[in-house]
Amino acid sequence: MKGMNETIRTQLEHRTIREFKDQGIPEEVFDLLMEVARRTASSTAMQASSIIRVTDPSIKAEIAGICKQEYVARIPELLIFIVDQYRNSQIAKEKGHSPDYAGDTDRFFSSFTDACLMAQNVVTAAESLGLGTIYLGSILNDTEKMCQLLKLPELTFPVLGLGLGYPNQSPQLKPRMEMRLRVFENAYTFFDSYLDEIKDHDEEMRTYYDLREPEKPVDSFSDQVVSRLKYQNIKRQELLKVARKQGFDLKV
């Protein structure tokens, strides 16, 4: 492919790693990853996102419980990316100003976005160094408990977990639908039959070998969609409620 380089080759090889070697990341590698996080784009350069590095095994175990993924307790390096408007609001206070709008909808979402960008930048850097990664959206299963566990003050909020380490498994590349179904020109594009359009993806997904349940045949993509959308995680509906408790003034 024209334009291919090492960076992009790494990106195209991304897969989720759930089992890691029992070996930490060298501290200088960790520092380099944090330097990448530091240089990530940030809305109006406010740098209003932070990272909690979870090294305490008991906290890791609690997070594994929230995630309902036992292997989370064994992840060598566990990072929680957070919205952080607390730091800047303190800076404003120290300068004698009332940071009235630090918790508004706008700030909540710009910090949330910043935290995500930072996480993906760390993922790419880590993978370029031969590390494996796993995103843990499942930390949002109980945002209130996450806030308590990590002692998150007002104007902060958990966004995304990230596990890092040296891979101890080689999962297959996960099938993906064609991008013509996801990239549209100038306006949203509709298709007459989505089932027809994703036929190949549906088929390919059935041949995917899932290391989590190697004995079990994998559902087609459309069957996965149906079973996912049938199910609602009630606690996860409380995200914005908890964000309000954390001091964000979210208007709906």
**Residues of this chain, 59-88, that bind a copy of itself according to CB under 8 A:** 59, 84, 86-88
The upper half-sphere exposure of residue 80, i.e. CA atoms within 13 Å in the direction of its Cβ, equals 26
Least gap, CB of 215 to a copy of itself (angstroms): 20
Could you say which of 64, 72, 89, 246 contacts a copy of itself (CB under 8 A)?
89
Could you say which of 193, 213, 215, 216 contacts a copy of itself (CB under 8 A)?
193
Could you say which of 119, 139, 146, 164 contacts a copy of itself (CB under 8 A)?
119
Q: Which of residues 127-166 bind a copy of itself (CB under 8 A)?
A: 128-129, 133, 135, 137, 140, 150-153, 156, 159-160
Least gap, CB of 69 to a copy of itself (angstroms): 12
CA 142 – CA 149 distance, rounded (Å): 11
∠ CA 83-85-89, rounded to 5°: 170
Could you say which of 19, 71, 73, 109 contacts a copy of itself (CB under 8 A)?
109
Cβ neighbors of 115 (< 8 A, separation 6 or more) are 49, 81, 82, 83, 159, 160
Q: Which of residues 212-231 bind a copy of itself (CB under 8 A)?
A: 221-226, 228-231
Asked if 238 contacts 141 with a C-beta cutoff of 8 angstroms, the reply is no
To which residue do tokens 């609690």 refer?
62
